[in-house]
Structure 1
Amino acid sequence: MSEELINAILYSGIPIFLVTLVLSYWAASQGLDDTEEQSDATKNLSTADEETKPETSKAEHIVPKNKAGNVLHEKWVQFGGGYYGVMALCTYLHIELLEISQALADFESVQDFIQSVNVDFFVNLFISAIMNMIAAFMWWSHWPKILPIVQPVIWLVCTYAAYVSATSIVRSYFKYR
């Protein structure tokens, strides 16, 4: 059991903690925090901003100004946000990176790669991305094929504890900031 716990911490706990920390910090700093509990600092900042800014419609408050940087956040929310969303996003990134590395390994040279890039290539890439997204939604069935999971409950508890720890750190950072 101790070996399983160490593997769970190294292979899933630490990566999920880091991804959650980055996503939560980035979302909170951009005002995109979807959590039900907003920190007091964020609430105070938003009310102070509303008092100093001229009247605007609510639609302008919903869409952040930095649209290009919201792709990662939109993908996270698309996967459901929260713990499930982090797990699905990590699974999606893992599947995509594996597939890209395998595809690049199939080409013998740069010239071979350039010759194969055509409309069919991009259609297959798009279809593959959709299939990978569906596979990412079922992350619990993907990881046992990749990692040495014997006791799945330990892995779930480890990843959930990592997720909760990271979000708590970000919330407390913005609360006391």
Structure 2
Amino acid sequence: MTLLDILTALLIAGLPLFLLSLLLVSWALHRGWLTGTSVKELQGSLDALKKSQKDKNNSNKVDPALGKWLRFGGGFYGLVALYTLLVIELVDVFRFLAGLAELVIDLRLGAVVGLAIEFFVNAIMNFVTAIAWPAYWLADSRDAWQLLFFAYAGYWLGIKTAQYAWQRGWVEEAAQRISGLLKREI
């Protein structure tokens, strides 16, 4: 285990999961979807929210990112699945844009239909890959335990930081500032 391996695991797994859990948990606390002063209480609140989302008659409408996290199972596993989906989809967006350049050159109906089918099949495959994220992330890794350690540490620290920021009122303050900036832009 070298310093480069540690930095790589930190940048690939730790930092992104820290930021993603910080943002999603802060937003959910701000919106009143989650409550709790400890990780255990927050997980219980997350489980209750997940159950309420399964009941179509009684579900609170949550934002798409939070809803996707819950559909992936919530918690650490669900967050890594969401992160995996975001990474894969970002790569596919660049591939799609490259495919559009080909489409502009070749405007036949077959090319358009082929691109649409490829887009649909990729979306399904990306979802399956995201659900099976351990295979995706650990396949090329020499130090799988390092990745898992930094991923979980980032997830846990993100939740703790979100709770701390919520208890100090920083989440509400940030939400008000962002809202003010958005109102000025519009």
Instruction: Give the TM-score, by structure 1 length.
Output: 0.71
Instruction: Say whether the 8 Å CA contact 2:23–2:162 is kept in structure 1.
Output: no
Q: Which amino acid aligns with 1:63?
A: N
Shift in alpha-carbon separation, 1:34–1:98, aligned structure 2, 3 A: farther
Q: Residue 102 of structure 1 corresponds to which residue in structure 2?
A: 95
- Aligned residue in 1 for 2:130: 136
Q: Which runs of 5+ in 1 are unaligned?
A: 39-58
Aligned residues of 1:20 and 1:163 also touching (Cα < 8 A): yes
Match in the other structure for 1:29: 30
Q: Kindly, what percent of the aligned residue pairs are identical?
A: 29
The answer as to 2:16 corresponding to 1:11 is no
- Check 1:114–1:22 CA distance in 2 against 1; reply closer, same or farther (3 A cut): farther
Which residues in structure 2 correspond to 1:50-129 (within 5 Å)? 62-64=59-61, 70-108=63-101, 111-112=104-105, 118=112, 121-129=115-123
| TM-superposed deviation, 1:129 | 1.1
Work out the CA distance in 1 between the residues paired with 2:71 and 2:86: 14
Equivalent residues in 2 for 1:139-154 (5 A)?
139-145=133-139, 149-154=141-146
Q: Decide whether the 8 Å contact of 2:80 with 2:133 is kept in 1.
A: yes
Q: Provide Cα deviations, 1:64-102, integer angstroms capped at 9, x if missing partner.
A: 4xx6xx111110101111111111011111111112211
- CA offsets per residue over residues 100-158 of structure 1, 9 Å max, x none? 21122134367348766856644542332122111111111112456xx2111111111
Question: 3-state SS of the aligned residue for 1:165?
Answer: helix
**Alpha-carbon distance between aligned partners in 2 of 1:94 and 1:108, rounded to the nearest angstrom:** 22
Aligned residue identity for 2:99: D
Is the contact made by 1:89 and 1:136 (CA closer than 8 Å) also made in structure 2? yes
TM-score normalised to the size of structure 2?
A: 0.68
Where 2:153 maps in the other structure, the secondary structure is helix
Count of aligned pairs: 150
Q: Distance in 2 between matches of 1:29 and 1:114?
A: 47
